Structure 1
Amino acid sequence: MEPRNHTHLSLEERRQIHQLLSRKMPVVAIAQELGRHRSTIFREVQRNS
């Protein structure tokens, strides 16, 4: 099994997520915009809501 590469969201990515959410952009679209998996964005949103 190949090892997974986990990288943390940067402060800039977190700011972008907040900004895009305030514009009512769907989480799936934010994930595509940032090049991240949707579950990463969902976790971030849940953690900071």
Structure 2
Amino acid sequence: MIINYKNIKLLKIHLDQFNKIKKKKKNMKTKIQKKISKNIKIARFLSLLPYK
């Protein structure tokens, strides 16, 4: 699975109901969590994901 700002389905999994980035899951490494949050921020900037 590729972590990319274009992969909206994957990024939406890591947002809660208020479109905030979820806390780290137990089985997820820190490096992956940082990539996901960085790509969520890029997707929000490009209006692919909502801020609120």
Q: TM-score scaled by structure 1?
A: 0.41
Specify which structure has the bigger relative contact order, considering alpha-carbon pairs within 8 angstroms and separated by 6 or more residues: 2
TM-score computed with the length of structure 2 as normaliser: 0.40
Which has the larger Rg? 1
Structure with greater helix percent: 1
